[in-house]
Structure 1
Amino acid sequence: MTRIALWMLIGCLTAAVYASEQLPEGRDLNVDQIVAKNVDARGGLEAWRKIDTMAWVGHVDSANAPSEELPFSLALKRPNLTRFEITVLNHRAVRAFDGKQGWKTSPSATGSGELRPYTIDELRSAKDEQVIDGLLIDHQAKGIEVTLEGSDKLDGHDAYRLAAKLPSGVTRHVWVDAQSFLDVKYDREARGPRGPVTVEVKYSDYKNVDGVQVPFTIESGVVAAGRSDRLTIEKVSINPPLNDAMFARPGAPLHRNSVSVNAEASLPMPPTLNRPSP
């Protein structure tokens, strides 16, 4: 080997070693290995399969809100039933989805506002949500195709960027931290007043709850807006008894006027970790 060839080889090897030090540990992992590590980091497949309901309570901080630390509760039930309540100036706003139909009310000066159905876009999004465990847990059983697109730097940390194609044909993205292998970001497309927008959700402050890892801080917002809402989870309940009636539209056969969510059962989860917007 000539001196020039040897010098080029040494240079290439040095560059390769240097590059390997800059990439996340386990850079050669394929998508199945990344997902498997994510599932393990979050508590394991069997632990999540045992969860049929989940509830959170906490508060929301928003730049658009008239006051700070708005109390909220979120109740979730497989496969995609949700009820989100938030209190604004002593008035309650509710968004609920019973698996087929969604309804919502907004606070008004006289109390709860008019009961309105979900829009077509809201219904489509609600039907796509994996409300208990997100997109990666048991993704094959859910008919979700996951591929590895690459890696990005998020807040100084390396993260794998995964694309998740849902049965509906919609593709969403999940970022998995390259060291902890926990979900750190998620995004989806939504319809804004001036056209499609990207909604970004960030997860942090993970804590162990009955053997599974749950993020206790969730920030969400429209990317182009440059600001986000922060959900701080104060308590999480695993498998509380949640009757289907609490998700049904008022006046529907399943609905009961006296439905209540007790302190143990009136909490929420992200979600996927995806929060219905108030």
Structure 2
Amino acid sequence: MICAQHRNPARVCYLFCGRLTSANFIAKPAAKRQTGAAQMKTTIRRCAAVAAGLTVLVAAGPAEQPAKLPSVDVILERNIEALGGEKAMRKLKNRETRGKIELTAFGAEFPVIMRQAAPNKEMMELTIEGLGTIRDVFTGRKGWTETPDGEVTEKKEREVANKIIDADFYAYLNFKKNYPEIAFQGVEQVAGKKVYAVKMTPKKGDADTFYFDAATGLVAGVASTAEMQGQEVKTKVLFRDYKKVDGVQIPHTLELEEPAFASFTIRLGSVKHNVKADAKWFKKTK
């Protein structure tokens, strides 16, 4: 869920952004293309390499140790206030967001749709011209990824554990519920901003470090861990361009970077709440 109340959109981007390298595949002569199934598998393997680049998105400077630091409770309470307050957040029951993912190195962009519903359902749909549509879905209990060649990959236990928290529609109101261990890490510099680093560890799943903007109280970024083909991959996402939508602050730009291959920018255009839900949102297409 790519919004102000999502624990970590980086893990979703981890699955999707690598597939954008298929734009290079689309541009090649037909004679040099791989067959559909083989190409998709190649694209999926690229996902791991591209996702690894997310680790350099936010360069956190050395922590400073001021004399007085806010408590974790104060940081979390201030974040809720900055977002618009609990009352405004609770009024929202679902969200539909449309935007685009820009693949800078290839000069290409692709439309993306994200839909979320309380308590913890979400889906992300990416359409690549000439290749088809990729869907990532979580129903609250199980999830899967669908690719244009008809392949469906079910989420494993670790992914499900992460998704249960990732997809929490009221994630920022449920920090203490979702994370039994919350520890203040210090004051750092992230993308030129002074932030409070707070590490949160769930009972099941991977720990996340949230960077709360010291000036605004909003989340400036999130550092997490993802798994691909048995390997640990560190991910980071940077939130920018917060705008108020239906009384709640939503970041409309997410910046991702992979130096070896390409850089990515996700820009949100339309953000709507409490829309008429479709039962097909969270079901398999085939």
Same fold per TM (> 0.5)? yes
- Distance, in Å, in 2 between the alignment partners of 1:241 and 1:150 is 43
> Which of residues 166, 173, 184 in structure 2 aligns to 1:129?
166
| Structure 1 counterpart of 2:254 | 218
- Residue 202 of structure 2 corresponds to 166
Q: CA RMSD in A?
A: 2.8
Name the residue aligned to 2:53: none
Matched, 1:202 2:257: no
Find 1:51's aligned residue among 92, 106, 116.
92
CA–CA distance in structure 1, aligned partners of residues 111 and 224 of structure 2: 25
Cα drift, residue 67 of structure 1: 5.7
Which range moved further: 204-213 or 43-52?
Answer: 43-52
- Specify every segment of 5 or more residues in structure 1 that has no aligned partner in the other structure, as ranges: 1-22, 107-111, 252-278
- One-letter code aligned to 1:82: E
Q: Which amino acid aligns with 1:249?
A: K
Shift of 1:162: 0.5
Q: Which one of the candidate residues 105, 108, 116 is aligned to 1:76?
A: 116
For residue 27 of structure 1, report the CA deviation from its aligned partner. 4.3
Q: Give, in angstroms, the shift of residue 133 of structure 1.
A: 4.0
User: What do the CA deviations read for 1:225-273 (whole angstroms, capped 9, x no partner)?
Assistant: 685422100010112122343202235xxxxxxxxxxxxxxxxxxxxxx
Distance 1:99 1:225 in 2: 35
For the residues of structure 2 that align with 1:227 and 1:151, how far apart are their CA atoms?
30
What letter is aligned with 1:234? Answer: G
| 1:115, distance to aligned residue in structure 2 (A) | 3.3
Aligned to 2:270: 235
- Are 1:98 and 1:244, in contact at CA under 8 Å, matched by a contact in 2? no
Match of 1:93 in 2: 134
Match of residue 35 from structure 1: 76
**Closer/same/farther in 2, CA of residues 32 and 246 from structure 1, 3 Å limit:** same
Name the residue aligned to 1:257.
none
Question: Residue 24 of structure 1: CA displacement?
Answer: 9.7
1:102 matched to 2:143: yes
Structure 2: 5+ residue stretches without partners: 1-63
Q: Does the CA contact (< 8 Å) of 1:24 and 1:158 recur in 2? A: no
- SS of 1:140's partner is helix
Deviation of 1:26 (Å): 9.8
Q: How many residues are matched?
A: 222
Give the Å deviation of 1:164. 1.4
More moved, 73-82 vs 186-195: 186-195
- Relative to structure 1, the CA distance from residue 240 to residue 156 in structure 2 (aligned partners, 3 Å threshold; closer, same or farther) is same
Structure 1 or 2, whichever has the larger Rg, is 1
Question: Structure 2: which amino acid aligns with 1:49?
Answer: R
Q: Deviations over 1:147-184 (max 9, x none)?
A: 21111101222100011122325321100000011101
SS, match of residue 179 in structure 1:
coil
Conserved? CA contact 1:58–1:72, under 8 Å = yes
The alpha-carbon distance between structure 1 residues 124 and 238, as it changes in their structure 2 partners (threshold 3 A), is same
Q: Secondary structure at the match of 2:78?
A: helix
Residue identity (%): 22
Which protein, 1 or 2, shows the higher relative CO under an 8 Å CA cutoff with sep ≥ 6?
A: 2
Say which structure is richer in helix.
Answer: 2
Question: Aligned with 1:103: secondary structure?
Answer: strand
